[in-house]
Amino acid sequence: MIEALVLGPDVETAMRKIASSDATALRTAEATVKKVVDLVRKRMEENAREGVPLCLMTPADLRRQLRRVLKQHKVELPVLSFADVAPDYQMRTVAVVGTAKAAA
């Protein structure tokens, strides 16, 4: 069983916009990236109490970008795309990481 954090649709949309943005938009996006990193850290800390390893599951087009962002912020968390996981593995969503108040 793979215990995973999954991105909320708001975070996926924001990360895609950042990937296709120019330099000015990237500076504006820093706040979004920081919020996403903080939310991932919070979920990791909550799950660490249970002692179960986590990964972050993302769409394939965001996997490398998110891994790079987490690494730049010194967050050690495996990042997998849904396509990376063989069909015979089961995944359990531990939390949805989103910037909307309902998803946070």
What are 41-100's pLDDT values in tens digits?
Answer: 988 888 888 888 899 999 999 999 899 999 999 999 999 999 999 999 999 999 898 866
Given a cut of 70, is residue 104 above it in pLDDT?
A: no
pLDDT of the residue at 49? 81
Angstrom distance (rounded) from CA 12 to CA 95: 15
- Which pTM value belongs to this model? 0.80
Structure tokens given for 16: 């895609």
Structure tokens given for 97: 């990481």
Given a cut of 60, is residue 103 above it in pLDDT?
A: no
Question: What residue ranges do the domains of the chain occupy?
Answer: 2-97
pLDDT of the residue at 24? 58
CATH superfamily of 2-97: FHIPEP family, domain 4 (3.40.50.12790)
CA distances from 52 to 38, 46, 48 (A): 19, 10, 6
